Amino acid sequence: MAQVHLRKVTRENFRECLNLQVTELQKGWVAANTQSLAEAYVDPNLFPLGVYDAAACGYEQPEVPMIGFTMYELAAGVGFIMRLMIDEKYQGQGYGRATVLEVVRRLKLHPDVESSRLVVEKGMK
């Protein structure tokens, strides 16, 4: 099973995040990472994270590429997984599932979070 390592999106890796792409069929289901990062810039309750293979763990500058993006929100005792995308080159390898599990694990560590939810919206363009 795939394992992931999540890192904050920073000045050093945000261009890599912006270059991630989903398949053409998925574009109506996933907000652009530029939109997500802009939202996170103005909302301190949003937490944007780059998704890496677990091989990146322990390295200050990962030697493996960013393979996806996720963002969660903390609001009123609920942790919402607002965004989740895996680059088209890395889909079908278990990274999406591993990312959801890791985000839920992190949300459980927040003392204010009583439940977790995944947000799905059609027409995110």
Note down the domain range covering 107.
4-118
Q: Could you tell me the CATH number of the domain that includes residue 34?
A: 3.40.630.30
User: Which tokens go with 27?
Assistant: 């574009």
Total domains in the chain come to 1
Do the domain assignments include residue 43?
Answer: yes
Residue 117's pLDDT is 87
In angstroms, the CA 68 to CA 84 distance is 8
Do the domain assignments include residue 123?
Answer: no
Burial class (CB in 10 A: 0-12, 13-18, 19+), 10: exposed
pTM: 0.90
Read off the pLDDT band of 118 (50, 70, 90).
confident
Number of neighbouring beta carbons within 10 Å of residue 65: 16
Residues 32-56: pLDDT tens digits? 999 999 999 999 999 999 999 987 7
Q: Higher-confidence residue: 39 or 124? A: 39
Do the domain assignments include residue 13?
Answer: yes
- In sequence order, the 6+-apart residues with CB closer than 8 A to the CB of 105 are none
Do the domain assignments include residue 124?
Answer: no
Question: Is pLDDT above 70 for 30?
Answer: yes
Distances in Å between the Cα of 22 and the Cα atoms of 26, 63, 88, 90, 104 are 6, 22, 5, 10, 22
